[in-house]
Amino acid sequence: MPGTNLTREEAQQRAKLLTVDSYEIDLDLSGAQGGGTSRSNGAESGGGTYRSVTTVRFESAEANAETFIDLVAPAVHEVVLNGHSVDVAAAFRDSRITLKHLREGANELKVVADCEYTNTGEGLHRFVDPVDQQAYLYTQFEVPDARRVFASFEQPDLKATFQFTVKAPSGWTVVSNSPTPEPSGPGGDVWVFEPTPRISTYITALIVGPYHSVHSSYEKDGQSVPLGIYCRPSLAEHLDADAIFEVTRQGFDWFQEKFDYAYPFAKYDQLFVPEFNAGAMENAGAVTIRDQYVFRSKVTDAAYETRAETILHELAHMWFGDLVTMEWWNDLWLNESFATYTSIACQAYAPGSRWPHSWTTFANSMKTWAYRQDQLPSTHPIMADIRDLDDVLVNFDGITYAKGASVLKQLVAYVGMDEFFNGVQAYFKRHAFGNTRLSDLLGALEETSGRDLKTWSKKWLETAGINVLRPVVDVDSAGVITSFAVKQDAPELPAGAQGEPTLRPHRIAIGLYDLDAATGKLVRTDRVELDVDGELTAVEALVGRARPAVILLNDDDLSYAKVRLDADSLAFVTEHLGDFEASLPRALCWASAWDMTRDAELPTRDYLSLVLSGIGKESDIGVVQSLHRQVKLALDLYAAPAHREELLARWTAATLEQLRAAAPGSDHQLAWARAFAATARSESDLALLEALLDGSDSVAGLAVDTELRWAFVARLAATGRLDEDGIAAEFERDRTAAGERHAAAARAARPTAAAKAEAWASVVESDKLPNAVQEAVISGFVQTDQRELLASYTQKYFDAVKGVWESRSHEMAQQIVVGLYPALQVSSGTLDATDGWLKASEPPAALRRLITESRAGVERALRARAADA
């Protein structure tokens, strides 16, 4: 629908005309428990409508002006502007209601509509739990989906107060941005909330249903903030509320000290909700979080670290994004990069944190995501040019989150941490409950740091692409360094990317490492910190020193750049990567090796040898799990086909060896069990999975619990060792929403033409699956050792993809467009088919971006395979 894609120019015009004062939103959700679209397990979700009544008060800068308000709804019954009825048939079209003849000054609009429950995770999502057959509702409004629930001026700079009145089944819980009142009305089923402070539409929220809750408070120096944690009753036994409260309080302590601004809302609830599309959402005072973070089975500490980072990320958003909000989506990074940087900094520096090594995790996961994104044809400046809502919907990416956070980490090193946070404090005080642009933040940071940040901003925030740093070192016959420089390259941007290669100023550290004779560990013997700028930067401080075993550029990971080792350091690290005493330099070397593999500088077989030589000594479980994912991806996509199976067999044997050698009950044991399950291939491997599943064999200390069982089931189904009856039997053991998703994935993974056709039809030819089940079916459908079986779907994909994009909601369409792209068909034929489709179909910009990103993955795989061959 053309009216759903608001342009930047339209938003600017509307913002010049209007000042929005308040919304009163009355929703009748009393019928939420009944009716809906049938799910595969017999429960129901989505479907059906509810009455939505919106009264919005706003001011117009002009008399007799015309504008519009946004609403996505199947039916509008009444529109009343300033006491006069508006012809609904004439005014409501393309998800907009045209408003004519505005008064100068105060105006009042009332809109009565039927809005629709969804099963896509957008707007008001409705889910029925198969365990208790109860309905659970929650809203998800970022970017433009408040308009699916109430009529709204859907753009971030038209802030207002919001007062919700909700009618829901008696006995249910209703949570919103304001504290939950006592229900009223004859049946005790009406909740009337107090108005919120002035906030943007996209961070308003409602969570409704018979949720289980645990309550506490944050208390410090006379401040008291009510805290709540919510989940479905079927997950309550797994909810570790004390651990979640502990992380939350740590965040309150650290953020309030660093930001020098008290938490700005009346309470702080965290609600673990089903079928959530993202990790979490920063609704003011009512954060929604995917309920996979309520762990049903044993997970490694890396999972707890990731959950803690998500909790802290959303809490940081209460200031960055909610208190102070970007004016337009160009500055989305002001929200996401700052929340990412400060959440990880909190984990690293807050007293008593369980994860002081969080920068290691950042270097090995978030930054590899950023490096990958920055080498795609869609790479863009951190401060992106967002022309319309379609642009921003595909811009929640590795640039906006991970590159932005990396650049902020460098900015902190450049200006100083105290100076950085002093600037942030001034920024919050100056712009509380308002909207800002990049210049507002930079101005505050320039004031407190004394640095001119205009050049820094232009090169780092307003340009795209990546830099490569290499050491240039000469030594004499005695092994003494006679010259040392850092060489900076700016590779050409990918074909189709906008902009020019840019050399940038970097604040880096150079670490010198040698083996400690007593411990056998690689330890840092010295460190030099400096600014690098231009193509070649001499480092006089290292001249005259004995050359160490390893010279590591960007030690401590201060800057955002790909780093290469000199030949001698690379040779030494190849033998001793696992011997670094500290986790961060190990992670940096692992990341460099992975990047070289992706760039076809290191053959996949050599990357595998490097990993196998050092992973057994890797103590950081997050790094181990990252290496598992990277090795599997490299073998599946980057290995030359002629010896892929040999390399996979070698890796599988290593995973089983490490599984048996790991300490019983340890995180490493669980991680290696999952790695083995992901790649098991021989008769003996698969027989072992079957035996572990039925209990006829065991590994000391390994608990084959619910989630691990499903990992075994998935592999056995994909290899044809488990049929529909076996999958159904496993689902009987776990008749939950998670079990439904796992069973759907396993069915789609079966190596038969019939299974593939059934999965394809359920996703592409039908639109009935809920978002989480659709995602599971796609994940099962795409199996890396079923290339031949899937080959015929390449043409089917290109025949269907544009229709999918035009007929489905954004979240559902993006799952299909990205998930079903024939990425496993690594050939020039796939590139040709993609190019032909792009030329013939003339897709809209957002769809073109997703397809060209996927195409770039095939192109990269072809280069890597050539290197490996």
Give helix 604-614 / helix 567-576 axis angle, nearest 10°. 50
Q: List pLDDT tens digits, range 529-553.
A: 999 999 999 999 999 999 999 999 9
Distant-in-sequence, close-in-space partners of 93: CB < 8 Å, separation ≥ 6:
3
Query: What's the mean pLDDT in 322-337?
Result: 94
841-850: pLDDT as tens digits: 999 999 999 9
Q: Is 629 helix (H, G, I), strand (E, B) or coil?
A: helix
Structure tokens of 94? 């393309």
Q: Distance of CA 373 to CAs 208, 388, 563, Å?
A: 37, 21, 17
Dihedral sign (CA 845, 847, 850, 855)? negative
pLDDT tier at 334, thresholds 50, 70, 90: confident
How many of the other CB atoms lie within 10 Å of CB of 92? 23
**Residues 211, 239: Cα–Cα separation, whole Å:** 12
> For residue 3, what pLDDT is reported?
64
Residue identified by tokens 């792009």 is 838
pLDDT 10s digits, 567-609: 999 999 999 999 999 999 999 999 999 999 999 999 999 999 9
CB neighbours of 772 closer than 8 A, spacing ≥ 6?
A: 121, 274, 275, 737, 741
Angstrom distance (rounded) from CA 857 to CA 55:
49
Tens digits of residue pLDDT in 605-640: 999 999 999 999 999 999 999 999 999 999 999 999
**Residues 6 or more apart from 182 whose CB is under 8 A from it?**
none
Predicted pLDDT of residue 43:
39
Cα maximum dimension of the chain: 93
CA distance 831 to 202: 38
Mean pLDDT in residue range 228-236: 98
Tokens of 760: 């394809």
- 808 close to 816: Cβ distance less than 8 angstroms: yes
Q: Which helix (H) or strand (E) holds 442?
A: helix 438-449
Residue-level pLDDT at 725: 97
Looking at residue 626, its pLDDT comes to 97
pLDDT at position 13 is 98
pLDDT digits (tens, 9 = 90+) for 370-380: 999 999 999 99
Which of 291, 294, 297, 295 shows the shortest CA–CA distance to 278? 291
How far is Cα 196 from Cα 817, in angstroms, rounded to an integer? 38
- For 569, the token pair is 């350091």
Token output for 409: 């980490």
At 37, the pLDDT band (50, 70, 90 cuts) reads very low
Segment (H or E) for 862:
helix 845-868
Strand extents, DSSP E, 502-587: 506-515, 522-532, 536-538, 550-555, 562-563
* pLDDT digit string, tens, across residues 644-668: 999 999 999 999 999 999 999 999 9
**Using one digit for the tens of pLDDT, what is the confidence trace for 305-319?**
999 999 999 999 999
Average pLDDT on 250-279 reads 98
Average pLDDT over residues 811-834: 98
Q: Exactly one of 314, 327, 618, 707 is catalytic; which is it?
A: 314
Residue 186 confidence (pLDDT)? 87
**DSSP string of 567-609, one letter each residue:** HHHHHHHHHHGGGBSSHHHHHHHHHHHHHHHHTTSS-HHHHHH
| Cα–Cα distance measured from residue 614 to residue 484, given in angstroms and rounded to the nearest whole number | 29
pLDDT reading at 267 higher than 60: yes
pTM, 2 dp: 0.96
**Band of residue 46 on the pLDDT scale cut at 50, 70, 90:** low
Q: Is 105 left (phi over 0), alpha (psi -120 to 50) or beta?
A: left
Q: Model confidence over 148-197: pLDDT tens digits?
A: 999 999 999 999 999 999 999 999 999 999 999 999 988 889 999 999 99
What pLDDT digit, counting tens, does each position of 389-413 carry? 999 999 999 999 999 999 999 999 9
Q: What Cα–Cα distance (Å) separates residue 761 from each residue in 50, 278, 591? A: 30, 25, 39
* Residue 126 three-state SS: strand
* Pairing outcome for strands 481-489 and 536-538: antiparallel
- Whole-number pLDDT of residue 183: 96
Token pair recorded at residue 6: 């608001």
Report the pLDDT averaged over residues 39-49.
58
pLDDT for 40 beyond 80: no
Average per-residue pLDDT in the chain? 96
All structural domains of the chain, each given as residue ranges with its CATH number in brackets, are 2-210 (2.60.40.1730), 236-263+276-464 (1.10.390.10)
Backbone angles phi, psi at 829, to 5 degrees: -60, -40
Phi, psi of 778, deg, nearest 5: -60, -45
Q: What percent of the chain has pLDDT over 70?
A: 98
CA torsion sign for 393, 765, 274, 96 is positive
Active site residue 314: yes
Q: Which amino acid is at 69?
A: I
The token duo for 717 is 């189904």
Across the range 377-388, mean pLDDT stands at 93
In angstroms, the CA 308 to CA 293 distance is 10
Report the run of H or E that residue 17 belongs to, with start and end. Answer: helix 8-17
Residues 180, 164: contact at Cβ < 8 Å? Answer: no
Sheet of strand 67-70, all strands in order from the earlier edge strand to the far edge: 67-70, 96-99, 92-93
Residue 278 reports pLDDT greater than 60? yes
844, 849, 855, 856: CA torsion to nearest 10: 160
Q: Which among 433, 164, 127, 393 has a CA at the least distance from the CA of 271?
A: 127
How confident is the model at residue 39, as a pLDDT? 42
- In the predicted model, is pLDDT for residue 41 greater than 50? no
More confident residue, 36 or 186: 186
CA atoms of 290 and 292, how far apart (whole Å): 5
User: Percentage of the chain surpassing pLDDT 90?
Assistant: 96
Give the other-Cβ count within 10 Å of 850's Cβ: 19
Average pLDDT of the residues in 737-753: 98
pLDDT greater than 80 at residue 499: yes
